[in-house]
Amino acid sequence: MTAPPPHGRPAVIPRLVRAGAALVAVPCLAHVLWSGLAHRPVALAFGALVALGELTRRADAEVREAAPLGAAGALAYALLGEVAGQAAPQGVAQTVTVVLAASLVGSVPYTARGSGPVLDHLARRVLTVAFAAVCFQPLAAQGAFRDWSGPAHALLLIALLALTTLCDAVLAAATAYARTGWPFGPLLREELRGMVGITSAVCATGVVMALAVGVAGLWALPVFCVPLLLAQLSYRRYAAVRATYRQTIASLARATEIAGYTPAGHARRVAELSGAVGRDLGLSGAEQTVLEYAALMHDIGQLSLVDPVPAGATASLPVPEQRRIALLGGAVVRQTGVDPAVAVVVERQADPCRDQPPAARIVRVVNAYEEKARDAGPGGGLAALEELRLAPADDYAPDVVEALARVLSRGSLTEPAAG
């Protein structure tokens, strides 16, 4: 769940990003309107490719690169100096204008439906393409790369794209920080980790397109965009399977609520707050997934109890009983076929915190906080947090408790429901 920014914090960063994109785009557009398009067939071909990529993008805020084909086409156009062996540098202004116009055309359906942060997406696209074009196009127009061929030219393009993706990662992390209020450092680290995934594929496709068009001409575009389209289709199928998988886990986690062992919404609240704490501590995407699943299923061991614990508050039970329930829960999770790492987190959530994996420490602290704050009634969050801080050293990891305090201080999640 995306958390709203804390009250009163101005959205300065998105405004600065949009203003920067506007300051870049307006002069470029004016220059092209005054001087006209150079190499029109090339501009139209790349514009159509970028527009197609935008039309096929995913309107999903959780996707790191929503329009991989559009991004690859835009970067390839920014790094294009030759077409079929003939020099054809188009300049920075034309590169930005063509990419912006094509992105606007491709974003029309999403703007009409109001789906996704289209304006922020376009601003990032303009700034990253402008950065790549400024690094390459002026030197290409002067013939600086005329003697660069083979591996040297390819390595140059890869180096420029690496710098461009670093720039885009900073912009993405800054925008996410302004939107969610989560710490900038972990957000940037997560963006940099993502560079080894879809970002690497986008950069590689952009380099191959630029090199192929330089040798074979515009016919290389449809040939080299097909693999990325197929990869995008496969990723969509994978995302659909993953969504179904998560829904199955969430439904299984609700078994304790339906049976009356835990209060309604307890597992969901623990999962949401655990995810926020995990992001604050800088967990990777894979670790966040394990944490989410384990938080959803952390009480599944209570189904083995003959007499339910009042309100499902296992934090108040003796430690041996907590461990027995945790081990039973881990055994149930292993039988479901879920990632074994999830079962490890579930069965070790009652161990001393020094012996727990990071995800188990987080689930233990958040579950205890949710139970104590709920029992304390309205306004009991501060008392519950102080109780966690004053607990024996082996009970709750101090760094996790402080991360929880930071999350709560940002006001990103509400108090636990009473009752």
Pair 52, 58: CB distance under 8 Å:
no
Pair 210, 129: CB distance under 8 Å:
no
pLDDT above 70 coverage of the chain, percent: 86
pLDDT at 178 over 90: no
- Residues paired with residue 87 on neighbouring β-strands, in sequence order: 82
Mean pLDDT of 218-236: 80
- Residues paired with residue 82 on neighbouring β-strands, in sequence order: 87
pLDDT value of position 9:
45
Task: Give the pLDDT band (50/70/90) at residue 10.
Answer: very low
Handedness of CA 296, 301, 305, 309 (dihedral sign): negative
Question: 10 Å Cβ neighbour count for 356?
Answer: 20
Task: Give the pLDDT band (50/70/90) at residue 7.
Answer: very low
Q: For the whole model, what pTM was predicted?
A: 0.71
Q: What is the pLDDT of residues 44-63, one digit of tens each?
A: 999 999 998 888 876 554 55
Mean pLDDT of 260-284: 85
pLDDT value of position 60:
56
Listed in sequence order, the residues at least 6 apart from 384 whose beta carbon sits closer than 8 Å to its beta carbon are 368, 369, 372, 373, 376
pLDDT value of position 201:
76
